[in-house]
Amino acid sequence: GESVGLHLPTLSVQEGDNSIINCAYSNSASDYFIWYKQESGKGPQFIIDIRSNMDKRQGQRVTVLLNKTVKHLSLQIAATQPGDSAVYFCAENDEGADGLTFGKGTHLIIQP
Amino acid sequence: AAGVIQSPRHLIKEKRETATLKCYPIPRHDTVYWYQQGPGQDPQFLISFYEKMQSDKGSIPDRFSAQQFSDYHSELNMSSLELGDSALYFCASSSDTQRETQYFGPGTRLLVL
């Protein structure tokens, strides 16, 4: 079946650098995408979302880019901090469906 | 701000026992979703409810059932538990005006022995 997946399972970056986490999706019917941050033992925390009629959306220190042509989603985190260490999931929603389809998660490690 | 509340946070059961997980959505949220997350896995959608009616169904086993009550809280009932049911169970909620944006609770960690 169609699913959302991530390119890299682990990403290690230096504190203060920018991080880019990538996500590929295959369901062309997806019209809404979300990035979640999940810390160990906690529930997924909403970071930022984007609809399919947009290609970029910015939040506080985060930017999501959507390339519908190649079905690619990315999360950019500026000036990463130790508190950014977590597993990051992209998720997509197919119009008409309730459940989110999650990717496999990228573990972001911040090095001092 | 108030968040999704789940109880219990931890639960240990024996094989073939039953378990009931509870979820209290964010105030004024009318849609509730249940997800299962195995160790090192991504969350898998189980089932959702809108205005006390089942709205969508994912990969929920027949041994599991759920419902949403008049106060919008939801319960996930799990019977004939198997070792493979050990996982984190998350509830999420969303509002009618922004239904796609799901906010997750802290989860219930279920261990089946």
Q: Each residue of B27-38: pLDDT tens digit?
A: 999 999 999 999
Contact B46/B55 with Cβ under 8 angstroms? Answer: no
Q: Nearest-CA residue of chain B relative to A99? A: B45
Comparing CB atoms, the residue among A34, A46, A104 nearest residue B42 is A104
Residue B21 class from Cβ within 10 Å (0-12 exposed, 13-18 middle, 19+ buried)?
A: buried
Taking CB atoms and an 8 Å cut-off, how many pairs form between chains A and B?
55
Give the gap in angstroms from C-alpha A46 to the nearest C-alpha of chain B: 7
H, E, C per residue of chain B: CCCCEEECCEEEECCCCCEEEEEECCCCCCEEEEEEECCCCCCEEEEEEECCEEEEECCCCCCEEEEECCCCCEEEEECCCCHHHCEEEEEEEECCCCCCCCEECCCEEEEEC
Q: Each residue of A23-64: pLDDT tens digit?
A: 998 888 899 999 999 998 899 999 999 999 999 999 999 999
Q: Each residue of B42-99: pLDDT tens digit?
A: 999 999 999 999 999 999 999 999 999 999 999 999 999 999 999 999 999 999 888 8
Contact B83/B15 with Cβ under 8 angstroms? Answer: yes
pLDDT of B100 above 60: yes
Interchain contact A10–B (C-beta under 8 A): no
> Confidence band (pLDDT; 50, 70, 90) for A1?
very low
pLDDT at B33: 97
pLDDT at A66: 97
Write out chain B residues lying below 8 Å of A37, CB-based. none
Q: Each residue of A71-88: pLDDT tens digit?
A: 999 999 999 999 999 999
Q: Which residues between 56 and 95 in chain A have a beta carbon less than 8 angstroms from any beta carbon of chain B?
A: 89, 93
Residue B86's CB is within 10 A of a number of other CB atoms, namely 16
pLDDT at B99: 86
